[in-house]
Amino acid sequence: MAKAKPQKRTYDRYFKGFMGLSLNKNIVRFINKFYDDNLPLDSEVTRLETETTDSEGELRRSDFIIKVAKRVFHIEIESGDGDNDGTMILRMVEYGFRSAFMHGKLIEGNKLTLHFPAPVVIYLRDSEKTQTEFIVEMVLSNGKSVSQEIPVKRLSDYTAEDLFDEKLFALSLFYPLRYELLLRNNHTVDDESRFSAEITSLLKRADVELEKGEISSDEYDLILEAVSDITKRVVLKSNILNRKGIDEFMEQIQEKYNFELLGIRIAEKEETAITMIKAGEPIEKIINYSRLTREKIETLRLQLQKKPQ
């Protein structure tokens, strides 16, 4: 049996969950922006499997692989700051090959053709170490080589307004991270006020986009959940100067954006997961639809197995 590595990065799960439940038009908008494309908003969208098993029997999971129209795209979210130790570029090559083998291979007689997905890396944090692009060059035994640039994007390149104006809703989840380093180090009370004002404005903008029908209720719920969760994490790690002001800000978020009142219903999510488990659906699909963690789904699966038939 394949052994799954524990998922350590909540940010990856937020992104995969959001992209898994997003309206197709928002997926296409995201692809168009980050790949400088112009695909029609009504293009056919197919979410592809991201799990493969390596030679040691362990599951390997890329963040998001999707087919829009006839093209396949591979998106990796990186929560590190881009220190170039070679890890990311190796992951992109490995995941790209695995995706090509799963979703882009063509065998004609004695010829194998592999169609690699279009890659992009998006950094949620960055520093002077963060790369602006990666370059892969493959040298074959016959001396011929092929190279490809892997573009790199950064959350810090966008304001909260940019993310909503350009319909990059999936990245709005992580916007509080833009203030993470600032609030840990030397800063002013005005910086803290700007932080609280921007997060409040972002959440209000989500209200507007929901009313306009630009995001679904599922997308809306997950934006609120992620932004509130990540805001709390940033505050807990920060050197807060105006403790009273920040505490009042956090209380306002908790009061207005109460998850249970907004319909993020744990019981309903578990019911969805249980139905899909019984139907034999793959765990990645269950995660995307239920928005439960892998660990919670495995717990539900074990509970079902223990129940008398």
**In contact, 276 and 286? CB cutoff 8 Å:** yes
pLDDT at 58: 63
Closest by Cα among 279, 160, 142 to 209: 160
Domain regions of the chain by residue span: 1-157, 266-306
The H helix count followed by the E strand count for the chain is 13, 11
**In contact, 67 and 48? CB cutoff 8 Å:** yes
Q: Which residues make beta-bridge pairs with 138?
A: 146
pTM across the whole model:
0.76
pLDDT at 124: 93
| 49 secondary structure, DSSP code | P
Closest by Cα among 63, 71, 75, 68 to 28: 68
Q: What is the pLDDT along the chain (309 residues), one digit of tens a residue?
A: 333 343 434 788 899 889 988 999 999 999 999 999 999 999 999 988 876 655 565 666 777 889 999 899 999 988 876 655 678 888 888 888 888 888 888 899 999 999 999 999 999 998 888 888 899 999 999 999 999 999 999 999 999 999 999 999 999 999 999 999 999 999 999 999 999 999 999 999 999 999 999 999 889 988 988 998 899 899 999 999 999 999 889 888 877 665 444 444 566 778 888 988 988 988 888 887 776 777 788 888 888 887 765
| Residues ≥6 apart with Cβ < 8 Å to 200 | 249, 252, 253
pLDDT at 260: 43
Taking the C-alpha atoms of residue 39 and residue 228, their distance in angstroms, rounded to an integer, is: 32
Which residue has 């296409």 as its token pair?
A: 28
pLDDT at 270: 81
Taking the C-alpha atoms of residue 73 and residue 99, their distance in angstroms, rounded to an integer, is: 10
Tokens found for residue 264: 């993020």
